[in-house]
Amino acid sequence: MELIAAGRDADVYALDGERVLRRYRRGGSAEHEARVMAHLAACGFPVPRVHEVAGADMVLERLSGPTMLDVLAARPWRARALGRELGALHDRLHRIPAPGWLREGAAGAGDERVLHLDFHPGNVVLTPRGPVVIDWRDAAAGDPAADLAMTLVTVGTSDIPWRGVRLGRRALLRGLRAGSRADPGPAMREAVAVRLGNPNVTPAEAARLRALAGALGAA
């Protein structure tokens, strides 16, 4: 099989022109992620179609098009518009009530909503039919503010190898805040703490997260 993408937790292999195999690198079951995606698809939210699940493997629809991160790297002047689009996708997701079986991911106030909790530009594929959101392994139920806060923290502190993305990061974050109606403020400190506990965070990212934690503590 041809490896066509590699994230921090999973690898993606081409099966044919219509399907890919997504495999968790450290094992575990993909059943939860597949169930979340089936629920979201039934609610009209744009996710890849799930064909089959077996242990750590999930066969998915093969999407065509660049990720939002790819577009940002090539066209940094579009950063603010892409951020607003990402914010609107957050709000669209957060209109979907969390089903009773979805695990708790963040403290909520009132009705809990479906949260992605890794909703960065690399997980949005801009297909001919519109944006499609991928990588639902961390999905949980909770307060939409926690989802937006996690995206802001992740985008704001992650290692970025592309100069265009580094140049456009601030504009992207401003667009994201403008594009979403959620208030991430009350959830920012928790998002930083959760991100610091992620074993995939690099030393440089951890340093930025601790600096952000200090700034939030001083605010």
Mean pLDDT across 87-99? 97
- 96 exposure class (CB count in 10 Å sphere: 0-12, 13-18, 19+): middle
Look up the pTM and report it: 0.91
- Copy the structure tokens of residue 18: 């219509």
Q: Would you say residue 205 has pLDDT above 90? A: yes
Residue 219 has a CB neighbour count (10 Å cut-off) of 8
Contact 5, 11 (CB under 8 A): yes
3-state class (DSSP) for residue 218: helix
DSSP class of residue 219?
A: -
pLDDT in tens, 20-74: 999 998 878 899 999 999 999 999 999 999 999 999 999 999 999 999 999 998 9
Q: Set out the domains of the chain in order of their start, with CATH numbers.
A: 2-61 (3.30.200.20), 68-218 (1.10.510.10)
pLDDT in tens, 106-136: 555 456 899 999 999 999 999 999 999 999 9
Q: How far apart are CA 150 and CA 157, in angstroms?
A: 11
Q: How far apart are CA 207 and CA 122, in angstroms?
A: 22
pLDDT of residue 103: 83
Q: How far apart are CA 205 and CA 197, in angstroms?
A: 12
Residue for token pair 């992650």: 158
